[in-house]
Structure 1
């Protein structure tokens, strides 16, 4: 007997910024070991270029991107430095800087 596949609804995004979850990270202490000690660079968000589209926020595999009022910020303690956020940003708002 074959299992029936579940029906999936189309996700068309959120209508307003307030509908996004506060973070993709766990606030209860799941991220407990910092990653910044082995990286020779950090990623920073240029607040003037950031349009708060939240693409980087959604693509970050570690959930280290946090929403602010009109931009996002990167938690350097837990960022692994994969660079996905910089690659996905359509506005070139994320810069890599050597420590």
Structure 2
């Protein structure tokens, strides 16, 4: 098992792997991938029927559910793709431009 490489401002070019090869497996938990989104889903709790169709289709697992109900969105990892909005039949989700 390899040790995870910690690249930071003190890392020299000599310490980097040859050719910029990534030696460790990627992990979405390590990166806030939602930082580059252009659109943001808005959840209207009062319209939500908790069918969990949105949860099932989210490619980033950004819709948090507990006990069969949507409880919140993980905007740190949501990329704003809109798949959840397209799936919602109750107009409980809407995409708006990210500010």
TM-score normalised over the length of structure 1? 0.62
- SS of 1:95's equivalent in the other structure is strand
After superposition, give the CA deviation of every residue in 1:79-99 in whole Å (9 maximum; x if it has no partner). 011110000001011111222
Q: Which residue does the alignment assign to 1:83? A: 82
Contact 1:54 1:72 in 2 (8 A): no
Q: Which residue does the alignment assign to 2:45? A: 47
Radius of gyration: which is bigger? 2
1:93 aligns with 2:92: yes
TM-score normalised over the length of structure 2? 0.62
Aligned residues: 71
Q: How does 1:16-95 map to 2 (within 5 A)?
A: 30-68=28-66, 70-95=69-94
* Partner Cα separation in structure 1 for residue 45 and residue 76 of structure 2: 20
Structure richer in helix, relative to its length: 2
Contact 1:56 1:86 in 2 (8 A): yes
> Is there any run of 5+ residues in structure 1 with no aligned partner, and where?
1-28
After superposition, give the CA deviation of every residue in 1:36-57 in whole Å (9 maximum; x if it has no partner). 2212331121000000000000
CA RMSD, Structure 1 to Structure 2 (Å): 1.9
- SS of 2:78's equivalent in the other structure is coil
